[in-house]
Structure 1
Amino acid sequence: MTPHGADESVTQPATGVIMTPGYATTIAQLAYVWGWPMVNMLNRHHSITAAPQPGLLNGVLPVAPQGRLAMLADYIEPSETFVTCPNQDVVYGLAYMSLDEQPVIVQVPDFGDRFWVYALYDARTDQFGELGKPYGTKPGFYLLVGPNWQGDTPDGIRDVIRSSTALANAIPRVFMDDTSEDRAAIQSVINEIDFYPLSDFDGAMKTTEWADLTALQGPASDGGGETKWVVPEKFFDQFRTVLDIVPPLAGEDSLYAQFQILLDTADGDDEIKKVLTDTAVSTERDVIAPFFKWKHNGRPAGNGWNRSTSNAQFGIDYFLRSGTAKSNMFDNRPTETQYFYIDDDAAGAGLQGERNYTVTFPADGEPPVRGFWSLTLYNDKHLFHPNDLKRYSLGTKNKNLARGDDGSLTIYVGAKSPGPEHETNWLPAPDGHFSLYIRAYWGEEPILDGTWEPPAVRPA
């Protein structure tokens, strides 16, 4: 068969051949690395859109039927395991969509001076469209459509935003100070955030009390980290769907042809079918799992930190796309957010809660941003560490941070309190391994060009 849009004048792999196990292993391993983020997206979509109505899965995760949004009304709960590396600087929402069959209306309220961005992801985990404060987006209605949608655009729509794939999701992020006053002030704004099918559009701004979402019962976390969205033993059955619904990028036709012949061969050859399963299991262990370590993500940023690059604009950079999907899926694009992460202290030793550390930003040395910044602590699973202070990050949202006489800001990190005089600047850590993560939303030029360096993490 000829894959989507392939040039028929170019010779494609022959059908009906007897493929050797060694060759099948080679192509299967590439298919697994290439397709891992998209199978991940496919399974998240199926799980989230199974919700009968917008609600909070187990009282924690926003879920909704296809084409609809569920929105939090506060920071995400620390017990969530839907995605690694969440943050507690923003109020999140989540929607999954199939945009060819069901175009979706996006409501944008008047956010005033508050930072906000609606991150829109296609099936490849690349962002599309530009909706947010960095883009000067005006309040009103926007229409999301799929690559093949040809319907009429109703009056009252500011812009039509087309995804490169029918399968897409949206994650609104709205900044909120960590104060009771701002928690109250943000409610009227977020209550006008919504995504819903075009068939429901009547030109009037809809309002939903997101704080009143119903808790929906679902599978409980097994305590083993992020929900396991890719199961190696099932991967190649689901991979077929990816090839059907995700059209190739320029230059990918030959990849699609190789992958399709591999699947077709496995259909009639039990030995090759077993090769696919065995290769999926070994590639998960040997290739995907190591992406969880920050040293395998992005590029060096100074003082032992790595930084993101090409996030949410991966294109054919399969290495970074799969690495990000494994370690911290759903980044914002680089101009919206830069991420810095580290597993080791300044001496190269792994971060351990039994030790205390300091992270000191010199005067005028905090991340230069037009949005906000934060330093977040994650446990060894890239999730929040429950603690008595219910504190998981420090930064712009915190209005009581103590600074030195010279204007510097020192954040204390460790399982043991640094003492009452420093407690406002303390990030509690678990007893074992942990990592640190800096977010710089809407970075200024030193963030974008890489000249700003994160401070060293020093043992106290």
Structure 2
Amino acid sequence: MRNWISALALGASLGTVHAANLDQQQAKALAQEAYVFAYATAEHDKVLSAIAAKLPFNRLYSEARLLGPQDTKVVSPNNDTFYSRALLDLRSEPVVLDVPAVQGRYYSFQLVDMRTDNLDYIGTRATGDQAGRYLIAGPDWQGEVPSGFSGVIRSPSRLVFLLGRTEVKGEADQKDAAQVLMGYALQPLSKVSGGATPEPLAPLQLPAYTDTKQGPAQALFSTFNALAPLHQWTAAEQKKLARFAAIGVKPGVAFQAPADLDEAIAQGAEAGREQVRAASSQLSVEQQGWFPSPSNVGKYGDDDLTRGAVAWRYIYANDAAEALYPMALHDTRGQILDGQHAYRLHFPAGQLPPVNAFWSLTLYDGKTQLLAANPVQRYALGDRSPGLQYDADGGLTLILQADAPKAAPQGNWLPTPQGPFNLLLRLYLPKGGALDGSYQLPTITRIES
């Protein structure tokens, strides 16, 4: 319990910069900076609080179904894998993840800390296709690792989001993929080792999620303050938090803006939100309508703007070595993709996405970043789609439009909503050409009626 109390006390010790030393412009600028710094952690709470409301901590939940438009907790979800999820409360002891041998099928467990940085991976790329046992420990644990473990993962966060993905190779494969899920197991270390069970700590109470994209922007600071004690901040981050304390952004303390600076802080937070929103549409240099994945996704360091922009647009993106996510917002003429028009997306012969696992193209509503409902319940197309017809030269042409095309293969049609939409091209276990940027992304051309 001592470590938990010291973490909560961090907020008080950081309050060394006083609001009296700030004028209105300085307070506004500081609030904008603090918003960008805090955004990803606060947006992370959307999933944390939703899972905690339904599932005990340290309980692995695997769902043998593909996500659809009804799933609204995570922006830009995939429609390619079964998901597994758990919230790991590492305050009192580590947890142990057991995985079976998974051969001939991609799988991964991504571990996300409170800053939305990715920790080490467990899965096809990172640990191979053999069965294994992995210890996951928080910053406060100082014990000895027992024998018999395949690996140890240390986290700077006391609460870790465990996100598993298990490949589904089409409708007929769902039963076999579901069997793989049965082999995953999560247990506390004391149960695995037969050691003494630690004294129970007070249950974690996560703040209710407040929509970061609507309402007063400074409400985000309340969420951040409540979550911040769950992370062990670096020395550089603590220096930032020491400055933010002057405007009420303090770990473990209820957010309260100084009365004489309240309006300036509110304006600064709004400016920060707009900065994050704008950056989410400019995550890299656009290439023929596509924005390649930022090179530092999942390992952001002090690049808080990219961290926040990714959280806004497609939170929980994998490291580049695990998956790439080129995003398209525009056609080749620079016009916003909109379901009022029809489009042709073309992969030339020899230019299908270079991957060691699989690839898919997923379409999202441009306003919500969620899967767009459509009559044929088709949300993605990819190398496992059974009805694709390839061009005579080996290339591939997909049709994007609201209504079924009359002069194109129905299996090559990806339905669009009536309004704006965007695309994510997922490349799981990308090969060198995708990683070094030499792979040419497909063209998206508006079809003139």
Regarding TM over 0.5, the answer is: yes
Residue number among 64, 83, 93 corresponding to 1:73 in the alignment: 64
Which residue in 1 is equivalent to 2:197?
none
Question: After the TM superposition, which segments of 4 or more aligned residues of structure 1 sit over 6 Å from their partners?
Answer: 226-231
Correspondence list, 1:20-59, <5 A: 20-51=23-54
1:375 pairs with 2:378: no
Residue in structure 2 matched with residue 304 of structure 1 by the alignment: 289
Classify 1:329/1:171 alpha carbon distance in 2 versus 1 (closer, same or farther; 3 Å): same
| Cross-structure match for 2:244 | 259
Q: Which moved more, 1:439-448 or 1:378-387?
A: 378-387
Shift in Å at residue 269 of structure 1? 3.5
Asked whether the equivalents of residues 32 and 269 of structure 2 are also in contact (C-alpha less than 8 Å), the reply is yes
Contact kept in structure 2, 1:12 and 1:257, CA below 8 Å: yes
d(CA) in 1 for partners of 2:93, 2:72 = 29
1:192 Cα shift? 1.4
1:94 CA drift (Å): 1.4
How far the C-alpha of 1:27 sits from its partner, in A, is: 0.9
SS at match of 2:30: helix
CA distance in 2, matches of 1:184, 1:341: 31
Secondary structure of 1:31 counterpart:
helix
1:214 is matched with: none
Supply the distance in 2 between the matched residues of 1:28 and 1:228 (Cα, whole angstroms).
Answer: 17
Provide the C-alpha distance between the structure 2 equivalents of 1:161 and 1:449, rounded to a whole number of angstroms: 28
Please name the residue that 1:89 is paired with. 80
Task: Judge conservation of contact 1:39–1:230 (CA < 8 Å) in 2.
Answer: no
5+ residue gaps, structure 1, are 52-63, 204-225
3-state SS of 2:74 partner: coil
**Residue by residue, what CA displacement relative to the aligned partner does 1:342-401 show, whole Å, maximum 9, x if unpaired?**
111111111121221111111211010001111111112211111121111111221331
Q: Is the contact made by 1:38 and 1:125 (CA closer than 8 Å) also made in structure 2?
A: yes
Are residues 1:272 and 2:261 paired?
Answer: yes
- Cα distance between partner residues in 2 of 1:191 and 1:227: 36
Computed over aligned residues only, the root mean square deviation of the Cα atoms, in angstroms, reads 2.8
* Pair 389,150 (structure 1): closer, same or farther in 2 beyond 3 Å: same
Please list the CA deviations of residues 76-122 of structure 1 after superposition, one character each: whole Å capped at 9, or x if unmatched. 13211111111111111111122232422112111111011111111
Q: C-alpha distance in 2, partners of 1:147/1:141?
A: 20
Q: Counterpart of 1:344 in 2: which secondary structure?
A: coil
Q: Of 323, 338, 344, which aligns to 2:330? A: 344
Is the 2:87–2:160 Cα contact (8 Å) retained in structure 1?
yes
Change beyond 3 A, Cα 1:298–1:93 = farther
Residue 237 (structure 1) aligns with: 222
Tell whether 2:174 aligns with 1:183: yes
Which moved further from structure 2: 324-333 or 186-195? 186-195
CA distance in 2, matches of 1:96, 1:229: 26
Equivalent residues of 2:341, 2:446 under 8 A apart: yes
Partner residue, 1:333: 319
Q: Is the 8 A contact 2:139 2:232 kept in 1?
A: no
Aligned length: 416
Kindly provide the amino acid, as one letter, of the partner of residue 280 in structure 1: A
Structure 2 runs not aligned, ≥5 long: 1-5, 195-210
Residue 398 of structure 2 aligns to a residue whose secondary structure is: strand
Task: Give identity over the alignment, percent.
Answer: 28
3-state SS of paired residue (2:248): helix
The answer (yes or no) to whether the contact 2:399–2:408 under 8 Å persists in 1 is: no
Task: Indicate conservation of the 8 Å contact 2:372/2:416, yes or no.
Answer: yes
- Report the equivalent of 1:287: 275
Q: Contact 1:3 / 1:256 at 8 angstroms: preserved in 2?
A: no
Cα–Cα, structure 1 residues 154 and 272, in superposed 2: closer, same or farther, change >3 Å?
Answer: same
Post-superposition Cα deviations, 1:264-305, rounded to whole Å, max 9, x if no partner, equal 898584223454344324432x22332443xx11333x3221
Within the candidate set 370, 393, 402, 1:406 is matched to 393
Contact 1:346-1:457 within 8 A present in 2 as well: yes
Using structure 2 for the length normalisation, give the TM-score. Answer: 0.85
Q: Which residue of 1 aligns with 2:166?
A: 174
AA of the residue aligned to 2:372: H
Does the 8 A contact of 1:338 with 1:441 survive in 2? Answer: yes
1:385–1:430: 8 Å Cα contact kept in structure 2? yes
CA contact (8 A) 2:276 2:305 kept: no
Report the 3-state secondary structure (helix = DSSP H, G, I; strand = E; otherwise coil) of the residue aligned with 1:157. coil
| Structure 1 residues 192-247: Cα deviation after superposition (integer angstroms, max 9, x where no partner) | 123333344379xxxxxxxxxxxxxxxxxxxxxx8969963432233333443333
TM norm structure 1: 0.83
* Alpha-carbon separation, structure 2, partners of 1:132 and 1:119: 9
Q: 1:134 to 1:97 in 2, by over 3 A?
A: same
Structure with the larger strand share: 1
